[in-house]
């Protein structure tokens, strides 16, 4: 194995990029960056029944959106290609045949019903199910007899008996598996297409992968892969299995779990910033030096190391993610925030798709008004609701303010001041409030709270003067008249 660090992310094109897969890709990418190595994107598409036609493109789009770039893959090539498993079938067949010729693999003709019956018998005896080895030592005549019946075989790897498979895991330390508990596993289906464990082992070796960094759920695959490395006489890469990601209820996540948004594309559609997603995912099972929590991709690449990846499960804290995204939105250029928010206002029917210059300028000020509090783009629809409806339903808290005895006098004077304004801008509105203060003798909360509630329906919110200006003279005066 060469001295250059080479890592890979090898997703199956069966759907959108899951946050767990995104974290694995990110950890590999950051480790490559920290070591001056190469990050390879390989497509594990051997499970043809589950593959989705556009999934590869969507996976790559999501990775690019996150800012994860690869050095070799199906789109950019590289000296170890092809980078799609189904384009490597002939290559796998050579290695499968090599194991068969050396007696390290064999043909198995058991049917699905026979395997299921075997499994049920083992469970009934209280045993852990594994392949019995029925076809381990078939004679040539026995093989021919099965084939004359029209049975097509799978290829099974002959697991060595009585061995301890020891994995020196960079995260979990030494992990030992007993070969006797594994059973001879399938390495090629009846159609000759290899199984995952075989294809990934051959590809990792031929592509000179030095470190295999992935989620803990793959740990059980590792002894099978290690045995294949040993059978071929190849050097084993360094394995590192990051902790599980638990949902906010500290339970193991499933793809049907509705307590959490699970796919990168969904976060993109909701108007999250990729930098925030990357920052958040990096801290799911990895801890930096010090107390800082906000990092750029460059800073993460400089700091990342496997010895700070935790064994303990990481909890996906949705509140922390929205907080972190808000930190990024607050610091972002307004144009960037507009890109996150305007599509949602258009989708909600609040804005036309083709805005004139005046309407666009108004929208910029509206979004800017809420940028400080905005957690993600789609939230702008709820935050700005009061700017798009003619009448307000005052809640109990608001009504309590409006029931105060000084309110009619304050609103009456404020309305008369507004009606006299030639230009309806924040400075003039501020002057109108001052005039109302002089005329009524009310000030502070007794003055500002009735005006805020009457015009916006809220007891707290963004800058009052700008809010009133953006609502417009017609809307504000209509709301005041309705109350009076």
Active site (catalytic) residues: 255
Of 70, 69, 66, 68, whose CA–CA distance to 273 is shortest?
A: 66
Tokens 């030096």 — which residue? 289
The radius of gyration computed from the CA coordinates of the chain, to the nearest angstrom, equals 32
9 burial via Cβ count (<10 Å: 0-12, 13-18, 19+): buried
Taking the CA atoms of 39, 41, 42 and 47 in sequence, report the sign of the dihedral they define: positive
The count of other CB atoms within 10 Å of the CB of residue 171 is 21
298 burial via Cβ count (<10 Å: 0-12, 13-18, 19+): exposed
Asked whether the beta carbons of 243 and 310 are under 8 A apart, the reply is yes
* C-alpha to C-alpha distance for 46 and 294, rounded to whole angstroms: 39
Cis peptide preceding 181, ω within 30 of 0: no
Residue 36 sits at the vertex; the CA angle it makes with 169 and 87, to the nearest 5 degrees, is: 75
Of 189, 184, 176, 225, whose CA–CA distance to 205 is shortest?
A: 225
17 burial via Cβ count (<10 Å: 0-12, 13-18, 19+): buried
């Amino acid at each position: 194995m060469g001295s250059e660090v080479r890592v890979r992310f090898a997703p199956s094109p069966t759907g959108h990029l899951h946050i767990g897969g995104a974290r694995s890709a990110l950890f590999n990418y950051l480790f490559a960056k920290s070591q001056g190595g190469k990050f390879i994107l390989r497509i594990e598409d051997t499970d043809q029944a589950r593959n989705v036609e556009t999934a590869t493109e969507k996976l790559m789009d999501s990775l690019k959106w996150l800012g994860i770039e690869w050095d070799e893959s199906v789109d950019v090539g590289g000296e170890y290609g092809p980078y799609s498993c189904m384009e490597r079938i002939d290559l796998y067949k050579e290695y499968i045949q090599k194991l068969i010729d050396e007696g390290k693999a064999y043909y198995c003709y058991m049917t699905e019903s026979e395997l299921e019956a075997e499994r049920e018998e083992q469970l009934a005896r209280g045993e852990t199910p594994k392949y019995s080895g029925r076809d381990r030592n078939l004679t040539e005549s026995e093989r021919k007899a099965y084939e004359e019946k029209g049975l097509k075989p799978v290829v099974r790897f002959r697991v060595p008996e009585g061995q301890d498979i020891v994995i020196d895991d960079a995260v979990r330390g030494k992990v030992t598996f007993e070969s006797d508990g594994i059973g001879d596993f399938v390495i090629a289906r009846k159609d000759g297409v290899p199984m995952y464990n075989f294809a990934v082992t051959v590809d990792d070796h031929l592509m000179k992968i030095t470190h295999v960094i992935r989620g803990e759920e793959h740990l059980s695959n590792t002894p099978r892969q290690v045995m294949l490395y040993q059978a071929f006489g190849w050097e084993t890469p360094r394995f590192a299995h990051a902790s599980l990601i638990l949902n906010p209820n500290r339970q193991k996540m499933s793809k049907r779990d509705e307590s959490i948004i699970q796919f990168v594309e969904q976060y993109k559609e909701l108007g999250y910033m990729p930098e925030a997603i990357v920052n958040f995912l990096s801290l799911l099972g990895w801890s930096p030096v010090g107390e800082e929590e906000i990092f750029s991709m460059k800073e993460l690449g400089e700091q990342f190391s496997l010895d700070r990846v935790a064994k303990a499960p990481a909890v996906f804290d949705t509140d922390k993610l929205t907080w972190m995204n808000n930190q990024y939105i607050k610091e972002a250029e307004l144009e960037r925030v507009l890109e996150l928010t305007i599509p949602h206002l258009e989708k909600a029917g609040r804005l036309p798709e083709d805005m004139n210059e005046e309407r666009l300028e108004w929208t910029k000020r509206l979004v800017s008004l809420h940028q400080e509090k905005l957690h993600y783009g789609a939230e702008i629809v709820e935050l700005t609701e009061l700017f798009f409806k003619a009448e307000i339903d005052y809640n109990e808290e608001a009504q309590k303010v409006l029931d105060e005895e000084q309110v009619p006098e304050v609103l009456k004077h404020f309305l008369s001041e507004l009606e006299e304004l030639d230009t309806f801008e924040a400075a003039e509105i501020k002057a109108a409030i001052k005039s109302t203060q002089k005329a009524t003798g009310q000030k502070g909360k007794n003055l500002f709270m009735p005006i805020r509630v009457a015009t916006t329906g809220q007891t707290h919110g963004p800058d009052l003067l700008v809010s009133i200006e953006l609502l417009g003279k017609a809307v504000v005066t209509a709301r005041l008249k309705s109350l009076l």
